[in-house]
Amino acid sequence: MRRAATVIATAATALVLAGGYAGLDAVDAVPGPLTTTPAPTATPLPTAPGAAAAGTAAPVLPALDAAAPAPDPAVLGRTVGPLLADPALGASVSAQVVDALSGDVLLSSAADVPRTPASTTKVLTAVAALRALGETTRATTRVVDGATPDEVVLVAGGDVLLAAGAGDPDAVDGHAGLGDLAARTADALRAAGRTTVAVRLDDASFTGPATSPGWGAGDVGSGFVMPVAPLAVDEGRLAEGETAPRAADPALGAALVFVQHLTDAGITVLDPGGGPVVRTPAQAGARELAAVESATTAEQVELMLTTSDNTLAEVLARRVALATDRPGTFDDASRAVVDQVAALGVDVAGVSLQGGSGLGRDTRIPARALTAVLALVASGDHPELGAVAAGLPVAGVNGTLHDRYDEPDSLAAAGVVRAKTGTLTGVSSLAGFLRDADGRLLAFAVVSDAVAPGGSASARRAQDRFATALAACGCR
């Protein structure tokens, strides 16, 4: 099941960062000498002294080595710069390479030009969520007393990863469960001598359209994203699988699951006509009957980055808007994310978001902004951003890079590159970290938004070749 896979994926990411590829192989997360076929070894990603991954007491990554020689920009440009002219990348390419320790720009090609970034947008959303919400916070789904003695209100709190039944404390997707919430609610009701209630739903924290005009017409039906809501079971999937179609009204669907569990627990749920759930705002200060909590924000950020989860990105962006006293709309979420990135000292000139996932075709981000955010993550000045580094897919190992870096011209960088991918029709992007041949940590971004029709796979291979050459180049 998807929830079990999430547990493995999250554990795998932590093991790569803390203990290398052997840890991954031990849980069969990827092929290896303990399973069936050889696979790359994940090179530990250095970070600044004192930087720690979210939720850890000490750094899980080795410190950046200030003594590792820095590349010569002229040599680096001559070595890897020509790879940006690969026809597979199209005629609209931006790129930048930055020394993650010093912040020095080592290569810049149209890096100030805003381009369509696709899912590399999620790097900005991740940083904004960690800053605005805090790495240890959780989304709470509550049941409170209603306006009359025979009412209860299910209050959505931004958890769209709810399990339909029991929650799994070791999972991120499915950490909290509606079955558990219903059982606790039933216990509280019986303790008060109540066995018959009407169920109301308060999902009004997110407002405005639930879908974006920038999304493709088939994005919801194809399972790429759900209509944005603050409550859902397994992100509104109507069947098993990552690309299962999504419910048209995920919050109402979740509420109906809650009602069924409440009924199974022996509580009679009144049907006022038209269905057992009516939308009604909860009253301020209403007494709480029961609650369940999601995985932490840091854990959700890691999952969002590793799997490139569009729905989770959009929901996190809405939660950023609410946390910064904005309405929970697409437009306000987009502005809130940019504001949070700017508050960290990143130059956001040219950054314009259409949602938090990168699905919005009108999103524009310069490559310079992507590398600036990544360098900030690596700097150690903001240890609360550690989940960004932990969540980036590892080349040839996990997430959206698990099936890349397996060609002869890129295999050497498997386990070395950690980067967020991005793909839309006509768009391919890659932004992340790598250690070069001399052990220097580099942040890089390549954004191509004029890829020829049908050329996505070729563009990805071209970007992988660029990163591989960069990793192999001491460039001095």
Cα 405–chain centre separation: 22
Query: Which residue of the set 108, 205, 212, 308 is catalytic?
Result: 308
C-alpha distances (whole Å) from 448 to each of 104, 156, 364, 439 are: 23, 38, 12, 28
Q: Please say whether the beta carbons of 200 and 279 come within 8 A.
A: yes
Q: Please say whether the beta carbons of 390 and 450 come within 8 A.
A: no
Cα 359–chain centre separation: 13
Query: Which residue of the set 119, 357, 428, 448 is catalytic?
Result: 119
Residue 47 has phi, psi (to 5 degrees) of -145, 175
CA distance 69 to 203: 54
Q: Is the dihedral of CA 89, 443, 8, 118 positive or negative?
A: negative
Q: Extract the tokens encoding 391.
A: 């969540």
Q: What is the CA radius of gyration of the chain?
A: 23
* Catalytic site includes residue 420: no
Q: Extract the tokens encoding 96.
A: 């930048």
Q: Please say whether the beta carbons of 108 and 368 come within 8 A.
A: yes
* Catalytic site includes residue 222: no
Query: Which residue of the set 94, 108, 122, 212 is catalytic?
Result: 122
Q: Please say whether the beta carbons of 206 and 225 come within 8 A.
A: no
Q: Extract the tokens encoding 192.
A: 């008060």
* Catalytic site includes residue 308: yes
Q: Which active-site residues does the annotation give?
A: 119, 122, 308
